A and B are shown apart, each in its own frame.
Chain A
Amino acid sequence: MRTIRYILQKEFIQVFRNKTMLPMIFLLPLIQMLMLVFAATYELKNVNIYVVNQDLSETSRELVSRFEASPFFNIYDASFDVQDAESSFNREEADFVMLIPPGFERDLIREDQAKLQLLINAIDGNKASLIYSYTLGILKGFNKVVIAEWKSLPEFNPPRRIEVKDSYWFNPELDYKWYMAPGILAILVTIIGMFLSGMNLVREKEIGTIEQLNVTPIKKYQFILGKLVPFLVIALFDLAFGLVIARVAFNMPIVGSLPLLFGFAALYLVGVLGLGLFISTITETQQQVMFVTYFFMMIFILMGGIFTPVESMPGWAQDLNRINPIYYFMRIMRMVVLKGSGFFDLIEEFVSLTMIGITFLALSIWRYRKTS
């Protein structure tokens, strides 16, 4: 036990004497949280519509003004010529072309139906389907008014229908930042922990001091713990710092228990730091560690469900996520912070993270060789 104390003391001295360390600990979370959380948004705003209104009737103008009034849409340009719209479309200026053919109003009156063409840029499929559903919403509302006005159905006697009243739980204002902030924080904590610990170990290999340690009676687990604990502490500190930023900058509520969140974070970090250390036991230089760690991070992060819901991934990807620590931690962060989930809601995550942690830590201790 005393040996570990001396090892930790040495590691902390070196960490804080490193000039790049303090900026890293404070600036990284600040920049990531303030920049990425705002930038990584799925909220749909400022969709550019190109209107080709060949009808120019009262009805068609009314329809266009409905789009204009929507906060999501923005009339980018208008023309009579479909060619103009198409070229604007191709230049990536307009997201969406609405073509109102001549005789729109006439058909509506005479035949009770009229045709309308919508062309949506679907390079980003997600965005396209959002645009489509928003557009349908506006059209539906427009329809109702048309029916009410022309069919002269009295407003006080509307046809029976199911009334849907929605209320959003856990994020009532649908603030995307509240959804992204815990996710970005999860990544931040991972980067800090995994890179720093791995690079630190391999640096001792590069300088050659590891040889000196290997001829001492230091035990393998003591050495690995010495490399793990300081970065776990730093990562937890950054988690706290990041939560404060989210609270202050985005007014994000922290519904769940903080001790629970930090307990889970520590458990999670044992796993990812274990992986980082394992990588550094099988590599020789900091470049190699960076490269291999980056490879794993990339896969873990993109599969972990920060941007895309894991539920919509193919089955094999969901299976693969069972060994992805970021997947569990991302869930835990969002569940505890936004929903206030308790320990018993997170039993599955607890068991999985414990197993991942034990595995990676054991691997790194096993693979660290005092004798080559």
Chain B
Amino acid sequence: MQHGKYRFIAGFLLIPLAVYGVFVISPFVQAIYYSFTNWSGLSSKFEVTGLRNYRRLWNDELFWKALGHNLLLLVLLPLVTLGLGLFFASMLNVGGRRRRNAPVAGVRGSSVYKIVYFFPQVLSIAIVALLFKFAYNPNSGALNSFLDAVGLPWRPEWLGDPDLALWCVMAVMVWSNVGFYVVLFSAGMSAIPKDFYEAALLDGASRFQTFFRITLPLLWDTVQTGWVYMGIMALDGFAVVQIMMDGPGPDYSTELLTYYLYTKAFNDGQAGYATALGVALLIVTLLFAGVVMKLGRRERLEF
């Protein structure tokens, strides 16, 4: 039975592997190669310049600033999004009053909420970003009009304020992603057998305890996957910044690695340097993946 098994599998995988090689691996290799050149991106002529791009990178204030913003997003974005996602999902599934015949239930109207939460996911990120751009308009946008209506004297400049701009961007990313995780976690929670909760409740466990002792551990793998995906969002963030800020924001307050890379490749004609930035981003991404996988490793609970 074992004989020829691998050859058999490889035969099936040949085409996908070839596609993967051509469209994923080879661009990687090419990009790493270009990062050692002074390629402009506008002509096929270039020279190999060795480590020059990387030395420049090391001394580039803007690179470090952009990296800092990305890392801030990387820490906060998954934390906030998944935290909210978990909170909402548990309210929808196990947060409600106890009803007869059911040890746990969601708050009233939870099925409606589930749909409402999912709405932002249906909108394309371009539309979401544009909508928020209008909402953030400090002169006639929804947010400041609201502040006006409730009589608060505070009139922030939102996207025009370097201290607020990045938070505004982050809020949009959270808003547009939370719904997906609510649905994902809800699905995960509904797979948890209800008798676990029943037993815990009989033992007198509080809501708080059931969440941290039962729900979260049994959902851990899903959370981890979500964490990785939100991490990718945080390291990207290009679309939101591009549409809402049309640039690096006031005083470079929303400069992200991806946007900086884009500027270098498409505005300044320095594609070689841009690919070096891309390689730096790749390294950060790999480190992140490694850390998440390492930290997240736990004994799997079978149920």
Decide if A and B are genuine partners: no
Which A residues fall within an 8 A CB radius of B? none
